[in-house]
Structure 1
């Protein structure tokens, strides 16, 4: 039994190491690539730099356009998170607490968004954004991102809300607490894990979104960081070292956001905050 447990633990460790290497390997190559010259990137793309060159990072950090791109991405991502949390939590609360005719059909309709490819909607989405007069604005990115993030968010919120003890709502109802007051006073304060989980998913998805800003944004002042990264691509030459340095600096906020919320993510995905 001890030997079998040892080999089982060893097998899990090997699998975890392989998965970690698969995830962290490209990130390490990206970070190291920002310290290499163009010639060394061609001759030694995966190894450590022979001469660490920091001018690519310093030139990007001293460029005001980098901070503008970063600020645009941060604003769009945070507003998308707030709108998604409010709308998805309210909708999921209704589905979890209130029984009404057509609830199952409405839930099924909303969950169709999980199997609907975003790229197939880009043309009608562009036409709708143009007709609403939102083209080339922050809202042209924020509102579609919020809409497409609602399906998964509502599913996660509903699963979590259904695990909250019914006795809590019944006791609050006896004391004269209605649905809306219970939602703000009890449900949301008990839902910190799922709020952090959904917020992290939405933030990272918005932060890395490239296709939607590319289609609906024309002004360089409104560009997000994935569009700003394209400034290092010329017609004949691509500055890969500057591009890798730019990517390294711009993924740090999403990594920091994930690390800050990671202790809540597992709890939000696997169980409720209160056990009945």
Structure 2
């Protein structure tokens, strides 16, 4: 029998670890990647067609609907950007989207804090009520909602769009934020109480920072949902001075139905802010939906 040197054991372990690290990564099934590419192409193709179509002329679209611009025309985009109507509708969309985002985040965070951290009667019923709100989209309630807005005197007013959007955005916000707030360890709250921190102080100093991934997620979803909302402004807003961009696209398409290239340019500029916003914060959305607060 041969004796094994003590120095050979670490070397052998190092070789074993090195061999384990050098194993090639598995890429998975090619069929999965093929299907994924098909879905990506189906999503990107209409967007690219609209954006590129704005750089073409009507003659180019008629002769070659799927071709590239030859030559590239900037007049459609510059004409839209120099229009006061576009910037007025853009400002209305920004006001509505920001107001809805702030309202949904603030109210949703406060409601979620109460449901997640305190025990009281009908707590489960209240949470179930918010969860049931996910099953009733705005389209179903648009007629009674219009009657309520009309009785409040908010027809053709941006507040008539902002308030209902906040109400319909709260169920999703509560469902997302409650798990984040429940995951905050009770030891932190007890330590804060011993240090003399009030409940309101604990909420602002500890709860808000720890639940920031979920807050960012619901804020992004609220902004994009409000920016793209079409049905509610269609029923509530009557004058073009109060139109948001989705309504502006529909009105512009009706006025310039013969000028397809200009309509495509207006449409691409209207959807560009939401696309850029979503592209910049898509990782935050995924992280907020799948992550949790660590104790």
> Taking structure 1 as the reference length, what is the TM-score of the superposition?
0.92
Q: Is the 8 A contact 1:232 1:239 kept in 2?
A: no
**C-alpha separation in 2, matches of 1:235 and 1:57:** 17
Q: Is the 8 A contact 1:194 1:268 kept in 2?
A: yes
Pairs aligned (count): 273
Query: Paired residue for 2:114?
Result: 94
Q: Structure 1 residue 238: deviation in Å?
A: 4.4
Query: Paired residue for 1:201?
Result: 221
Deviations 1:142-166 (A, max 9, x none): 0000000100111001021112222
Of residues 235, 239, 244 in structure 2, which corresponds to 1:224?
A: 244
Q: How does 1:145-160 map to 2 (within 5 A)?
A: 145-160=165-180
Misfit runs of 4+, over 6 Å? none
1:5 and 2:33 are equivalent in the alignment: no
Tell me which moved more, 118-127 or 163-172. 163-172
Equivalent position SS for 1:36? coil
Q: Structure 1 residue 12: deviation in Å?
A: 4.2
> Taking structure 2 as the reference length, what is the TM-score of the superposition?
0.86
**C-alpha separation in 2, matches of 1:154 and 1:69:** 30
Q: Structure 1 residue 5: deviation in Å?
A: 2.9
Q: Is the 8 A contact 2:112 2:177 kept in 1?
A: yes
**C-alpha separation in 1, matches of 2:186 and 2:210:** 13
- Greater C-alpha Rg: 2
Query: Relative to structure 1, is the Cα distance of residues 42 and 128 closer, same or farther in structure 2, using a 3 angstrom cutoff?
Result: same
RMSD: 2.0
Equivalent position SS for 1:118? coil
Q: How does 1:63-78 map to 2 (within 5 A)?
A: 63-78=83-98
Unmatched 5+ stretches in structure 2: 1-22
Equivalent position SS for 2:229? coil
1:45 and 2:76 are equivalent in the alignment: no
